[in-house]
Structure 1
Amino acid sequence: MDLALNGKKVLITGASQGIGAGLSKAFAEEGCDVHLVARSKDKLEAIRDDILKNHDVQVTIQALDLTSEGAIEKVLEAAGNVDILINNAGVIPSGSLWDIDEKKWRDGWDLKVFGYINLTRAIYPRMKEQGGGVIINNIGNGGEVFDPNYVAGTAGNASLMAFTRAMGGCSLDDNIRIVGVNPGPVDTDRIYNMLKKRAKEWHDDESRYTELQNRYPLKRPAHIHEITDLIVFLASFRSGYTSGAIFTVDGGITSRRSVI
Structure 2
Amino acid sequence: MDLGLGGKKAIICASSRGLGRGCAEALAEAGCAIVLNGRNEAVLAETRAAIESRFGVPVQTVAADVSTPQGQEALLAACPDPDILVNNNGGPPRRDYSELDRAALLEGAIQNFVTPVELIQAVVPRMKERGFGRIVNITSLSVKMPIEGLDLSSGARAGLTAFLAGVCRQLAPHGITVNNLLPGKMDTDRLKGGFERTAVQTGKPVDDIRAQQAAEIPARRFGNATEFGQTCAFLCSVHAGYITGQNILMDGGLYPAAF
Pairwise same-fold verdict (TM > 0.5): yes
Structure 1's 93 and 166: CA in aligned 2 closer, same or farther, altered over 3 A?
farther
1:100 and 2:96 correspond: no
Deviation at 1:206, TM superposition (A): 6.1
110-119 or 136-145, which moves further after superposition? 110-119
Shift of 1:101: 3.5
**Cα offset, 1:148, TM superposition:** 4.5
Q: C-alpha separation between the residues in 2 aligned to 1:101 and 1:197?
A: 22
Structure 2 residue runs of 5 or longer lacking an equivalent are none
| TM-score of the aligned structures, taking structure 2 as reference length | 0.91
How many residues align? The count is 255
What is the match of residue 185 of structure 2? 185
Aligned residue number for residue 31 of structure 1: 31
How many Å separate the matches in 2 of 1:154 and 1:47? 29
| Aligned AA (2:136) | I
Instruction: Give the match's secondary structure for 2:76.
Output: helix
**Equivalent position of 1:157 in the other structure:** 157
The share of aligned pairs that are identical, in percent, is 29
Secondary structure at the counterpart of residue 178 of structure 2: strand
Contact 1:36-1:60 within 8 A present in 2 as well: yes
SS at match of 2:90: coil
Match of 1:85 in 2: 85
Q: Tell me, what secondary structure is at the counterpart of 1:121?
A: helix
**How far off is 1:199 after superposition?**
4.6
* Alignment-mate amino acid for residue 241 of structure 1: Y
Question: Is this contact kept in 1: 2:217–2:253, CA < 8 A?
Answer: no
Q: 1:10-159 alignment to 2 at 5 Å?
A: 10-159=10-159
For residue 255 of structure 2, give the secondary structure of its aligned residue in structure 1: helix
Deviation at 1:28, TM superposition (A): 1.0
- From the superposition, tell whether residues 173 and 63 of structure 1 become closer, same or farther in structure 2 (CA, over 3 Å): same
Residue 182 of structure 1 aligns to a residue whose secondary structure is: strand
Q: Deviations over 1:61-101 (max 9, x none)?
A: 11011233433222212212111000012222223212434
Distance, in Å, in 2 between the alignment partners of 1:200 and 1:101 is 25
> Which residue does the alignment assign to 1:221?
222
Q: Which residue of 2 aligns with 1:167?
A: 167
Change (3 A) 1:158 1:128: same
Conservation of the 8 A alpha-carbon contact between 1:195 and 1:213: no
2:234·2:240 contact (CA, 8 Å) conserved in 1?
Answer: yes
Provide closer, same or farther for how the CA distance between residues 105 and 200 of structure 1 changes in structure 2, counting only shifts above 3 A.
Answer: farther
Deviations 1:107-164 (A, max 9, x none): 2332222111111111112211233211111111110012343211221221122123
Ranked by relative contact order (alpha carbons within 8 Å, sequence separation 6 or more), the top structure is 2
CA–CA distance in structure 1, aligned partners of residues 155 and 67 of structure 2? 19
Q: What is aligned with 1:195? A: 195
Report the secondary structure of 1:169's partner residue: helix
1:39 partner amino acid = R
> CA 1:254/1:101 → structure 2, altered by over 3 Å: closer, same or farther?
farther
Q: Partners of 2:195 and 2:82 in 1: how far apart?
A: 37
CA distance in 2, matches of 1:42, 1:108: 26
Deviates more, 1:104-113 or 1:188-197: 104-113
- Structure 1, gaps ≥5 residues long: none
The root-mean-square deviation of aligned C-alpha atoms, in Å, is: 1.9
Tell me whether 45-54 or 208-217 shows the greater mean CA deviation.
208-217
- Aligned 8 A contact 1:92 1:109 in 2: no
